[in-house]
């Protein structure tokens, strides 16, 4: 019998990988909710109450499609960053925008460089468009800029991916190092600079935005410090001509109208953002202290999570994560050695972290 | 100087087309809001108040990513249609899902059949993935099933697109005709059946769902009768194995969490849906009457809009549309002859339609 349908051979041959299993699936499997949800680097402190109010007020108006030009949202973002609206494109979170960028640049025969253990969703997009990924080893728990550049030159790569501050390690490079990297990109290679955690970064980490440079795309999001992961609002800043190329591949009516209204309100609430950042810093300190109290080594973080070195191999860290999960606390861990000697814990309220402290101690005791 | 970046040659060569200009852009151009927004087939009656309440209640929880499996939403939809959750995939409206399906099936060398004047966003996706579109002429203002099948056989097409009830004409085929079409699909060709307006359809139009048939994908949405166009929640129903292929290309974390909660609430509010459908039917009658009162010929509609034959050529219909627009009422018109002898007016409240009646009469008077 002939096949009833004809998938593209490339798609037919693709594995059906899902970058991350959600906590909801784990809750369904365990038959009860987690006691603390501190695994997906969400912002438990939530969105600005002004964003919540703006979204609630706009609720009934959801019968309207969003503005396909995202005019007001792009103008608000542009004003916030001191760039022009033409330098900003909206997307369904950084995930969606990385998908768009992959579609613009990647096809079979195109080489792309990332770090081994860096964001799996980026890899999902690159391989999903037929690209060849080259993965560079982290050095001292940081993405290795020199090695990324070398590998890009060696493979004639079209793109390098770098997250700064980094996920899943929480480490970072200063703006000077990033600017050096940009200056030394091989011919015809652009940098996808994922700054999802940019608002949490220490001073001096985010380079000044240079929208005259068509070799850098900077990705930002309302999913982290703005506390709106479920809204799917991200944006990419870059040189105007390059940004305009997104129009060819993006879903013009794809943005949730209410989410954009919330994002604009969130962007205007500087006080809330400052309070989130300060509460997150305190939570990082507390997580680090919990790690040390249990004889583990927290890695300094410029994000809203702390990655904790469990001091042994991947199998041990996995046992620790599973012990914590089975005791009702949702956390995750890096997927690739040597990063996978660690577990990763997101900032949360004091009560979330106390639960974590309790179950971590229990877990380690049980593992001894 | 070398190019700083290397777009895929295919993308570099693509025109930057936007399927539709939004009413917001037109409002910015005219410097004031429209008096009535009845051009995008939105549901002015709005979403169920239960959906609005559920979304407002969930507002603060938007710090959480949505469940990448869309478990609860898919289960609710499956129960609603009497299918299994494995037969349902969620997406960012039908637009997003048509993009996913195009990515699954279309690449350079793949042929796709649609009707000349049918949904431009589908064309945007097919050409955006490199496919070759073949457009069949409407017959008597309906998509021509026999001609679509013939063209698909002739071109060895991988997909046929059909909307039923149809946009932009509002016409429809009965379930028997659709089932015949499905039975006669050429080898290796699937039907993308866009039922965005399905809730409005007269009895006997929607065929029974047969999830054993891997040659039909049925697209439904919360954008129309459920009044949630800005939410971006659509779904596709099909045979389980085919539906599972969407996992390879979709953005797993792409759904707005609050929107899914609203959709589930909307799905449960049968009374509201019934009231929307009945108010829409009354509005269609009123639009038809306004057309007749002005000497124009409304086309019978199974949707939430009425397409009005202006009785002359495209240039005349365009003048009518522009006259109506310039007088503050947002409407649209089909883009392709012979459909473009018409204008298209969405259902709305009595006051919206009274404004339309007034400006249509003024417009026609000015054109005489």
Q: Of the candidates B224, B253, B268, which is a domain's last residue? A: B268
Size of interface A-B (CB pairs under 8 A): 263
The ipTM of this complex is 0.97
| Contact criterion met (CB below 8 Å) for B190 and B241 | no
Q: Is the residue at B2 inside a domain?
A: no
Determine the distance in angstroms separating the CA of B366 from the nearest CA of chain A, rounded to an integer. Answer: 31
Q: Do residue B248 and residue A103 have CB atoms under 8 angstroms apart?
A: no
Distance CA B333, CA A289 (A): 64
The mean of the pLDDT values for chain B is 97
Same domain for B314 and B173, yes or no, is no
**Model confidence pLDDT, tens digit, residues B250-306:** 999 999 999 999 999 999 999 999 999 999 999 999 999 999 999 999 999 999 999
Containing structural domain, residue B350: 20-46+271-367
Determine the distance in angstroms separating the CA of A367 from the nearest CA of chain B, rounded to an integer. Answer: 31
Same domain for B205 and B263, yes or no, is yes
Same domain for B262 and B319, yes or no, is no
Same domain for B279 and B222, yes or no, is no
Q: Which helix (H) or strand (E) holds B79?
A: helix B71-81
Same domain for B88 and B115, yes or no, is yes
Q: Is the residue at A9 inside a domain?
A: no
Q: Of the candidates A220, A244, A268, which is a domain's last residue? A: A268
Q: Of the candidates B216, B246, B268, which is a domain's last residue? A: B268
> Nearest 5°: phi and psi at B125?
-70, -45
pLDDT for residue A16 = 77
| Nearest CA among B315, B306, B323, B327 for reference residue B364 | B323
Percent of chain A with pLDDT over 70: 99
**Model confidence pLDDT, tens digit, residues A97-133:** 999 999 999 999 999 999 999 999 999 999 999 999 9
Count up the domains in chain A and report the number.
2
Q: Is the residue at A7 inside a domain?
A: no
Among A267-281, B17-31, B132-146, B210-224, the minimum mean pLDDT is found in B17-31
**Model confidence pLDDT, tens digit, residues A140-156:** 999 999 999 999 999 99
For B208, counting Cβ atoms within 10 Å of its Cβ (0-12 exposed, 13-18 middle, 19+ buried), the class is exposed
pLDDT for residue A2 = 59
| Contact criterion met (CB below 8 Å) for A143 and A115 | yes
> Nearest 5°: phi and psi at A172?
-155, 165
Nearest to A2 among B188, B227, B229 (CB): B188
Same domain for A132 and A243, yes or no, is yes
Same domain for B275 and B175, yes or no, is no
Helices (H), A59-160: 71-81, 93-105, 120-128, 145-155
Tokens 């063209």, residue?
Answer: B151
| Contact criterion met (CB below 8 Å) for A164 and A178 | yes
Same domain for A241 and A129, yes or no, is yes
Nearest to B259 among A64, A253, A256 (CB): A256
For A350, counting Cβ atoms within 10 Å of its Cβ (0-12 exposed, 13-18 middle, 19+ buried), the class is exposed
Cα separation values, A102 from A58, A107, A133, A249, Å? 33, 8, 12, 10
> Nearest 5°: phi and psi at B241?
-65, -40
pLDDT for residue A4 = 87
Instruction: Give buried/exposed letters for B41-66 (b at 16+ CB in 10 A, else e).
Output: bbbbbbbbebbbebbbebbbebbbbb
Query: What is the domain-level CATH number for residue B204?
Result: 3.40.640.10
Cα separation values, B181 from B137, B145, B150, B192, B215, Å? 17, 7, 11, 12, 11
Reply yes or no on whether the pLDDT at A3 is more than 90. no
Same domain for A153 and A299, yes or no, is no
| Confidence band for B169, pLDDT divided at 50, 70 and 90 | very high
Report chain A residues whose CB lies below 8 A from the CB of B187.
2
Q: Which of B98, B153, B230, B283 is the best substitution to test chain A (most A C-beta atoms within 10 A)?
A: B230
Same domain for B261 and B318, yes or no, is no
Distance CA B133, CA A23 (A): 42
Q: Hey, what are B151's tokens?
A: 């063209």
pLDDT for residue B2 = 59
Query: What is the domain-level CATH number for residue B327?
Result: 3.90.1150.10
Same domain for A83 and A39, yes or no, is no
Determine the distance in angstroms separating the CA of A286 from the nearest CA of chain B, rounded to an integer. Answer: 21
Q: Do residue B106 and residue A244 have CB atoms under 8 angstroms apart?
A: no
Same domain for B58 and B172, yes or no, is yes
**Model confidence pLDDT, tens digit, residues A316-349:** 999 999 999 999 999 999 999 999 999 999 999 9
Q: Is the residue at B335 inside a domain?
A: yes
Mean pLDDT computed over A264-270: 98
Reply yes or no on whether the pLDDT at A1 is more than 80. no
Q: Is the residue at B14 inside a domain?
A: no
Instruction: Write a three-state SS string for B95-161.
Output: HHHHHHHHHHHCCCCCEEEEECCCCHHHHHHHHHCCCEEEEECCECCECCHHHHHHHHHHHCCCEEE
Nearest to B5 among A188, A247, A257 (CB): A188
Chain A residue with CA closest to B259: the answer is A256
Mean pLDDT computed over A235-252: 97
């Amino acid at each position: 019998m002939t096949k009833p349908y004809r998938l593209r051979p490339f798609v037919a041959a693709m594995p059906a990988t899902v970058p991350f299993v959600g906590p909801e699936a784990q809750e369904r499997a365990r038959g009860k909710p987690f006691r603390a949800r501190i695994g997906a680097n969400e912002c438990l402190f939530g969105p600005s109450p002004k964003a919540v109010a703006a979204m609630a007020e706009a609720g009934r108006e959801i019968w309207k499609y969003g503005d396909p030009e995202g005019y007001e949202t792009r103008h608000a973002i542009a004003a916030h960053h001191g760039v022009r609206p033409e330098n900003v494109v909206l997307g369904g979170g950084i995930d969606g925008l990385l998908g768009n960028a992959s579609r613009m640049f990647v096809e079979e025969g195109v080489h792309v460089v990332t770090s081994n253990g860096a964001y799996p969703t980026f890899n999902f997009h690159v391989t999903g468009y037929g690209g060849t990924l080259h993965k560079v080893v982290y050095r001292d728990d940081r993405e290795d800029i020199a090695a990324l550049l070398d590998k890009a030159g060696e493979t004639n790569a079209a793109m390098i991916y770098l997250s700064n501050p980094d996920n899943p390690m929480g480490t970072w490079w200063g703006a000077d190092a990033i600017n050096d990297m940009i200056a030394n990109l091989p011919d015809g290679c652009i940098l996808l600079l994922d700054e999802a955690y940019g608002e949490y970064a220490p001073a001096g980490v985010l380079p000044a935005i240079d929208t005259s440079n068509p070799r850098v795309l900077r990705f930002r999001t309302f999913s982290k410090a703005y506390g709106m992961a479920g809204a799917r609002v991200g944006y990419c800043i870059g040189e105007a001509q390059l940004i305009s190329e997104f129009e060819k591949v993006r879903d013009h009516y794809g943005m949730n109208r209410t989410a954009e209204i919330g994002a604009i309100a969130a962007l205007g609430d500087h006080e809330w953002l400052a309070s989130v950042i300060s509460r997150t810093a305190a939570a990082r300190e507390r997580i680090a202290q919990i790690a040390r109290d249990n004889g583990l080594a927290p890695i300094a973080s410029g994000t809203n999570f702390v990655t904790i070195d469990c001091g042994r191999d991947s199998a041990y860290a996995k046992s620790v994560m599973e012990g914590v999960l089975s005791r009702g606390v949702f956390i995750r861990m890096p997927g690739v050695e040597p990063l996978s000697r660690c577990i990763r814990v997101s900032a949360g309220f004091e009560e979330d972290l106390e639960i974590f402290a309790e179950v971590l101690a229990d877990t380690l005791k049980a593992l001894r």
